[in-house]
Amino acid sequence: QKEVEQNSGPLSVPEGAIASLNCTYSDRGSQSFFWYRQYSGKSPELIMFIYSNGDKEDGRFTAQLNKASQYVSLLIRDSQPSDSATYLCAVTNSGGSNYKLTFGKGTLLTVNP
Amino acid sequence: GAVVSQHPSWVICKSGTSVKIECRSLDFQATTMFWYRQFPKQSLMLMATSNEGSKATYEQGVEKDKFLINHASLTLSTLTVTSAHPEDSSFYICSAMTQIQETQYFGPGTRLLVL
């Protein structure tokens, strides 16, 4: 069974610090990797996607992908209280079409003022 | 860009009634839309994949006769929960995929409460 694993947290960091969120996946053939942010009671919001090994930066966010280790991470620099949310890692399944996503259970991040 | 809407945002109904939820991609065409369900403190569970002009593909364990999906156009998919029961109460979220980026953008979700 294809799985995506995340530490459920909660991960607590002080304002201004770097928050590091990690995710591992079991399907070695997975091609695309996504990070979504979900505020309590709201639907997920896309933060970043990454397809290739290495780092991808967008503002305060950096996604890192290591396909050999089946590992993807999200770094949030200069964390703000407004970043407090659950962060969902999602991976597309290999094979077939339709680009279905498998989600991790999410990591709850709390940024303390 | 990539805005997805859902209607209604909240619905309360009596047990045994049917409820229709609409999902629209507002500024792009989506050949594929997805329907998810999320129970409190759990992650998203994919219910079905909806392709424009063809029958939906349901995930294992999801009753296709209970959760009717229609994807009649490139910007609209509907989910009808037929004969709803209290255990169907949940947060239903749709997503639409852009062809260019192959990325799913989520609607704001619909909270269903069946009394």
Q: Do B106 and A104 touch (CB under 8 A)?
A: no
Strands A107-112 and A11-14: parallel
Supply B91's token pair. 């947060």
Confidence at residue B69, expressed as pLDDT on a 0 to 100 scale = 94
Confidence at residue B1, expressed as pLDDT on a 0 to 100 scale = 67
- CB of B102 within 8 Å of a chain A CB? The answer is yes
Confidence at residue B55, expressed as pLDDT on a 0 to 100 scale = 87
Give the pLDDT confidence of B3-24 residue by residue, as tens digits: 999 999 999 999 999 999 999 9
Residue environment code for A24-33, b if the CB has 16+ CB neighbours within 10 A, otherwise e: bbebeebebb
Give the pLDDT confidence of B59-103 residue by residue, as tens digits: 999 999 999 999 888 899 999 999 999 999 999 999 998 777 678
Question: In 3-state terms, what secondary structure has residue A88?
Answer: strand
In degrees and rounded to multiples of 5, residue B19 shows phi and psi of: -130, 135
- CB of A3 within 8 Å of a chain B CB? The answer is no
Q: Which residues of B touch A101 (CB under 8 A)?
A: 34, 46, 104
pLDDT averaged over 10-residue windows placed end to end, chain A, 113 residues: 85 97 92 94 94 95 96 97 96 70 93 95
